Amino acid sequence: MKCIIGIESTAHTFGVGIVGLDGKILANIKDSYTTKEGGMIPLEVRAHHAKVGEMVFEKALKEAGILEEDLECIAFSNAPGLAPCLLEGMSFAKKKAVYLGIPIIAVNHCVAHLVIGETCGAKSPVMLYASGANTQIVAFVGGKFRIFGETLDLGVGNFIDSLGRSMGLGFPAGVQIQKLALEFEKLETKNKVLEPRLLELPYSVKGMDVSFSGIQTKVRGLIEAGVDNREIAYALQETVFAMLVEVAERALAHTGKNELLIGGGVGCNSRLQEMCRVMCEERGARFFCPPNDLLTDNGAMIGYLGLKMFQAGLATRDLENVDIKPRERTDEVEVLWQKNFFG
């Protein structure tokens, strides 16, 4: 059976996805760099990707039940991301392309997060992309993936991780923060409080953009002052997610679209999902939330968009002219694969 393979390596995850020519995801294997202390050191992450690459690749082939010879084309994420990690993914993809004698396709990671929404039914969504490095509201309008709002400073995931570090939680910290926030809510309910106490944090929405540095400063002060981590985690989630949902709602109103898609690792947070769902219900929009393994960085979404590009004749054997673009913005991507895609 002929397949497309997708390689993801923009940040802490090395992922390999295998997609059939009919668009069916046959395998989605990943291995992510984690650490108990500190954040991501790009060269260490690159070394991680180099170490696990072949193993993840083999596992994916096995899971899909295919042989190397079945691979028709190799897609890899060339943008945006940490340069050392992107380079590792590209060198892996090029080596395989040469060895297997197949063409290659460079895929924009952010666009792949949006396009994979199609597999859960989204047709023309506004995407709230909330991950470590990225926080954007994106939609396809007028032939381009346009950014309607974004963070003015930190990516929401990196911001939450930085506060998690100050609280002594490991990396990534999102799951721990969610657990602490839930604990606080339960505690307050036990104390028969109708609405859990909400510490006041600087709610910072500027036009369609958001900013987290003010909250970061305030929360660091609260941690130093010895405020209960659970109470901080609760206020952090409520405030930050309300900001994201507010700009997502405004983008829906502005574009006239009636579908919201969530993407990115922070999208795995069930409180954020709940707030999105409530907002969509209130305005009669549909909410699409891919499963966690497609929300977080993964090779399947790279393979899935790679397939569309491959079918549009965009694969190349000219490896010399394929390069990484660590800073490419979503709205710089030329959408050559499908004219009316998500129009």
What are the residues binding Fe ion (CB under 5 A)? Answer: 131, 297
Choice between 15 and 103, CB closer to Fe ion: 15
Choice between 10 and 204, CB closer to Fe ion: 10
Shortest Cβ 218–Fe ion spacing (Å): 27
In angstroms, rounded to a whole number, what is the distance separating the alpha carbons of residues 155 and 17?
A: 25
Q: Is the torsion defined by CA of 271, 157, 52, 113 positive or negative? A: positive
Shortest Cβ 296–Fe ion spacing (Å): 7
In angstroms, rounded to a whole number, what is the distance separating the alpha carbons of residues 14 and 9?
A: 5
Choice between 259 and 297, CB closer to Fe ion: 297
Which residues make beta-bridge pairs with 206? 209
Choice between 131 and 136, CB closer to Fe ion: 131
Burial class (CB in 10 A: 0-12, 13-18, 19+), 319: middle
> For Fe ion, which residue has the nearest CB?
131
Distances (CA, A) of 273 to 57, 72, 159, 183, 339: 31, 36, 19, 18, 31
Shortest Cβ 82–Fe ion spacing (Å): 12
Choice between 108 and 229, CB closer to Fe ion: 108
In angstroms, rounded to a whole number, what is the distance separating the alpha carbons of residues 266 and 131?
A: 5
Amino acid at 26: L
In angstroms, rounded to a whole number, what is the distance separating the alpha carbons of residues 18 and 7?
A: 9
Shortest Cβ 49–Fe ion spacing (Å): 15
Shortest Cβ 113–Fe ion spacing (Å): 6
